[in-house]
């Protein structure tokens, strides 16, 4: 929200003074102006966190950032090394696309992305869009998702005529947490820029927690929660003489971690270890031929590998090893045509090949071929914006053993409207309908003794009605911004693990209705002595009920891990000396299983975080220091049942920029 005010710097130089014969240089003049945020005028709900806000609020990782978005559910399995996934409005993690610098991140094996592995060190913006964004040049894969979590990294920019920039950062904190990182920006000629980022994270993660055992309360310590990870990426940006742009990213991530497991009574131990490796190379080219025609082409190769080891006497040789490898080849092309100033048309075509290899018994070594075609139209007339999209999907698979699933094809429409009733009032009404679905993952289809090759795609219909309002306020208030959205989601053919005569098996068994309200509020207060206070908040009310079986005991009960109420609030106080930040994140009670009975209840929680930061401008460099106190009330809570989260912790960060 602090990013609603954009500064520009203007430089001026007078001609030679005919009297004194000297040249006078005017001091830097800062011009401040406001712009209407995109989330106010968009036809679909969009929420944004800038990199500056992430830094000042003491947000620890990507999952912590996403928790501040209304309508987003983050499943966190505890600790720094625990798996962290995101879903939007109770439609499941597989319905949410994660975009990294404009290209979707994929995991055909499990269908969900661990957002905990993305570093915040080089992030310039994180946004969450429900339905789809207003970008007509996005890929068909983005159009196909029920929602998109977009992560944009910071692009190189240079000051004072320099051709390079260097930043070194070191963070340390509770539970053995240490993260050094380095960033190098280099100007290569007049049209090419290079950015290199690398970081290492190490933590033992053995934090204390409180265990409630009937009427007895004991103080325990988490075990097997350590992590050691490396992440590095190289980005190349080039602008051609015809003003077309080309960018390329090479990314590498590797980690070794302990999986702490569930804390069951009298058995808090876990012996599972997980090794992850992910490498991808992606490129994007964009050219505007003329004001009517624009083309964007993207390509990506992605390689993922993981090894899971579980030690125990029940296994032969005392250990069980599972190894998976998946590879993806992806190509996307989108063309945008503007025949008039009011009408815009785009056509996006994606093609992907996904392969899975595993050492599990009966693995059929599947290969999936996917074609996505999206035709989108947008029309603007006075204060009305209307968009319509039609997506065509075709999927075919080949396996080396057994019978492959049937080929799949489907049309999925989407429409949205945004209306500004009064010309001089920044008030908008928006309406969205979107039909979407998600294909069964490789685990759903082929996992040993659990997979079902006859599964149908899980279908969902999204409905959203909302209002947005923004006004420049007199006196001490700089602006006031409000969004309010009511939604209804209808999910059918839900893919769940269903008990059969002899074992559990994946099946299409489920109908879910989710109704909710998302609200956000933001304002900035101008204070004396060059100080300002930025306040933001979000609230979600949701009712997600299971309508699968009228005879079941959980019929019309709230879905597992779905709180009725959730919200967050933050305050950033900027002074000429210090920047203070405070955030509050909380949810109401939830249930860990389908039946809403006291035995399955998980208590609600509120987590408080405070930050203090200061920047110093030295002769040839700048120094930034930050202190964070996370969960300073030492709230003991679980996000996932039997996976306790850390209590009070601290972190210190120092960075030097040249």
Paired sense of beta strands 590-591 and 46-50, if any: unpaired
pLDDT in tens, 91-123: 888 899 999 999 999 888 888 888 888 888 889
Looking at residues 327-352, what average pLDDT do you find? 96
Looking at residues 178-185, what average pLDDT do you find? 95
Question: pLDDT class for 390, splitting at 50, 70, 90?
Answer: very high
Does residue 265 surpass a pLDDT of 80? Answer: no
Tell me how far apart the 2 most distant CA atoms of the chain are, in Å.
Answer: 100
Q: What are phi and psi of 362, to 5 degrees?
A: 65, 20
Does residue 57 surpass a pLDDT of 70? Answer: yes
pLDDT in tens, 512-524: 999 999 999 999 9
Looking at residues 192-200, what average pLDDT do you find? 96
Only one residue has tokens 């899975």, namely: 356
DSSP code for 140 = H
Paired sense of beta strands 147-153 and 96-100, if any: parallel
What pLDDT was estimated at residue 579?
A: 93
pLDDT in tens, 543-589: 999 998 899 898 999 988 899 999 999 999 999 999 999 999 999 99
What pLDDT was estimated at residue 17?
A: 43
Does residue 23 surpass a pLDDT of 80? Answer: no
Does residue 281 surpass a pLDDT of 90? Answer: yes
Give the angle 319-325-326 at the CA atoms, nearest 5°: 150
List the beta bridge partners of residue 466. Answer: 430, 485
Distance CA 441, CA 326 (A): 12
Does residue 285 surpass a pLDDT of 80? Answer: yes
Per DSSP, which regions of 338-455 are E strands?
343-358, 367-381, 384-398, 408-419, 427-438
Q: Which of 329, 430, 573, 366 is nearest to 46 (CA)?
A: 430
Distance CA 377, CA 388 (A): 5
Does residue 370 surpass a pLDDT of 90? Answer: yes
Give the angle 147-640-571 at the CA atoms, nearest 5°: 65
Looking at residues 205-226, what average pLDDT do you find? 81
> Helical H runs in 45-116?
51-56, 62-66
What pLDDT was estimated at residue 39?
A: 58
What pLDDT was estimated at residue 315?
A: 82
What pLDDT was estimated at residue 11?
A: 35
What residues contact 214, with CB distance under 8 A and at least 6 apart? Answer: none
- The domain locations on the chain are 31-657
What pLDDT was estimated at residue 9?
A: 36
Distance CA 99, CA 102 (A): 6
375: which 2 tokens? 């035709």
DSSP code for 3 = G
Weakest-pLDDT range from 36-40, 133-137, 284-288: 36-40
Q: Please provide the distance, in angstroms rounded to a whole number, between the alpha carbons at the two ends of the chain.
A: 28
Looking at residues 279-289, what average pLDDT do you find? 96
Weakest-pLDDT range from 327-336, 461-470, 548-557: 548-557
Please state the CATH superfamily assignment of the domain spanning residues 31-657 in this structure: TonB-dependent receptor, beta-barrel domain (2.40.170.20)
Q: What are the CA-CA distances from residue 270 to residues 213, 267, 310, 441 (Å)?
A: 19, 9, 9, 27
pTM of the model: 0.87
Does residue 214 surpass a pLDDT of 70? Answer: no
Question: pLDDT class for 79, splitting at 50, 70, 90?
Answer: low
Higher pLDDT, 548 or 80: 548
Does residue 503 surpass a pLDDT of 70? Answer: no
Mean pLDDT, the chain, rounded, equals 87
Distance CA 298, CA 300 (A): 7
DSSP code for 315 = S
Question: pLDDT class for 165, splitting at 50, 70, 90?
Answer: very high
Question: pLDDT class for 373, splitting at 50, 70, 90?
Answer: very high
Question: pLDDT class for 31, splitting at 50, 70, 90?
Answer: very low
- Given a contact cutoff of 8 angstroms between Cβ atoms, the answer to whether 185 and 163 are in contact is no
pLDDT in tens, 589-638: 999 888 999 989 999 999 999 999 999 988 888 999 999 999 999 998 88
**pLDDT > 90: percent of the chain:** 59
DSSP string, 403-423: PPPPPEEEEEEEEEEEE-SST
Which stretch of DSSP H or E encloses residue 284?
strand 272-288
């Amino acid at each position: 929200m602090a990013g609603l005010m954009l500064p520009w710097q203007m430089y001026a130089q007078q001609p030679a003074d005919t009297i004194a014969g000297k040249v006078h240089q005017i001091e830097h003049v800062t011009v401040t102006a406001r712009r209407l945020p995109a989330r106010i005028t968009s036809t679909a709900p969009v929420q944004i966190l800038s990199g500056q806000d992430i830094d000042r609020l003491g947000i620890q990782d990507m999952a912590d950032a996403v928790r501040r978005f209304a309508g987003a559910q983050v499943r966190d399995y505890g600790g720094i090394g625990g798996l962290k996934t995101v879903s939007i409005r109770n439609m499941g993690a597989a319905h949410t696309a994660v975009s990294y610098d404009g290209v979707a991140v994929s995991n055909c094996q499990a269908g969900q992305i661990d957002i905990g592995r993305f570093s915040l060190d080089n992030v310039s913006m994180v946004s969450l869009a429900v339905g789809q964004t207003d970008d007509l040049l996005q890929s068909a894969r983005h159009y196909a998702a029920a929602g998109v979590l977009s992560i944009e990294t910071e692009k190189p920019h240079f000051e004072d005529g320099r051709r390079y920039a260097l930043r070194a950062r070191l963070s340390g904190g509770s539970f053995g947490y240490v993260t050094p990182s380095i960033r190098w920006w280099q100007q290569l000629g007049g049209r090419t820029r290079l950015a290199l980022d690398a970081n290492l994270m190490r933590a033992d993660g053995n934090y204390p927690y409180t265990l409630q055992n009937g009427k007895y309360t004991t103080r325990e310590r988490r075990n097997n929660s350590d992590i050691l990870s490396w992440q590095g990426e190289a980005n190349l940006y080039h602008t051609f003489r015809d003003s077309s742009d080309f960018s390329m990213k090479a990314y590498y991530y590797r980690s070794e971690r302990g999986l702490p497991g569930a804390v069951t009574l009298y058995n808090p131990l876990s012996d599972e270890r997980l090794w992850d490796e992910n490498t991808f190379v992606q490129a994007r080219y964009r050219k505007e031929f003329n004001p009517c025609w624009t083309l964007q082409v993207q390509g990506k190769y992605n390689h993922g590998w993981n090894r899971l080891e579980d030690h125990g006497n029940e296994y032969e040789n005392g250990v069980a090893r599972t190894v998976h490898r998946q590879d993806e080849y992806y190509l996307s092309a989108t063309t945008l045509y503007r025949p008039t100033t009011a009408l815009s048309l785009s056509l996006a075509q994606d093609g992907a090949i996904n392969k899975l290899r595993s050492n599990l018994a009966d693995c059929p070594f599947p290969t999936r071929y996917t074609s996505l075609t999206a035709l989108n139209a947008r029309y603007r007339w006075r204060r009305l914006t209307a968009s319509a999209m039609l997506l065509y999907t075709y999927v075919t698979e080949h396996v080396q053993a057994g019978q492959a699933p049937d080929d799949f094809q489907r049309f999925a429409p989407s429409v949205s409207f945004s209306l500004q009733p009064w010309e001089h009032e920044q008030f908008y009404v928006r309406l969205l309908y979107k039909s979407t679905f998600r294909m069964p993952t490789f685990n759903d289809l082929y996992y040993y003794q659990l997979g079902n090759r006859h599964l149908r795609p899980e279908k969902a219909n999204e409905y959203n009605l909302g209002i947005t309002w923004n006004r420049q306020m007199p006196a001490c208030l700089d602006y006031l911004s409000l969004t309010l959205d009511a939604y209804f989601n209808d999910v059918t053919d839900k893919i769940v693990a269903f008990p059969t005569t002899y074992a559990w098996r994946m099946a299409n068994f489920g109908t879910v209705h989710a109704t909710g309200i998302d609200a956000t509020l933001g304002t900035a207060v101008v204070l004396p002595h060059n100080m300002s206070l930025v306040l933001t908040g979000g609230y979600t009310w949701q009712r997600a009920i299971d309508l699968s079986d009228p005879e079941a005991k959980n019929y019309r009960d709230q879905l597992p891990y779905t709180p009725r109420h959730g919200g967050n609030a933050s305050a950033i106080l900027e002074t000429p000396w210090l920047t203070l930040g405070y955030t509050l994140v909380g949810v109401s009670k939830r249930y860990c299983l389908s039946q809403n009975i006291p035995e399955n209840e998980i208590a609600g929680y509120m987590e408080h975080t405070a930050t203090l930061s200061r920047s110093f401008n030295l002769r040839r460099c700048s120094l930034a220091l930050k202190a964070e106190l996370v969960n300073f009330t030492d709230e003991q809570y679980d996000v996932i049942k039997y996976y306790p989260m850390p209590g009070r912790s601290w972190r210190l960060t120092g960075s030097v920029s040249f």
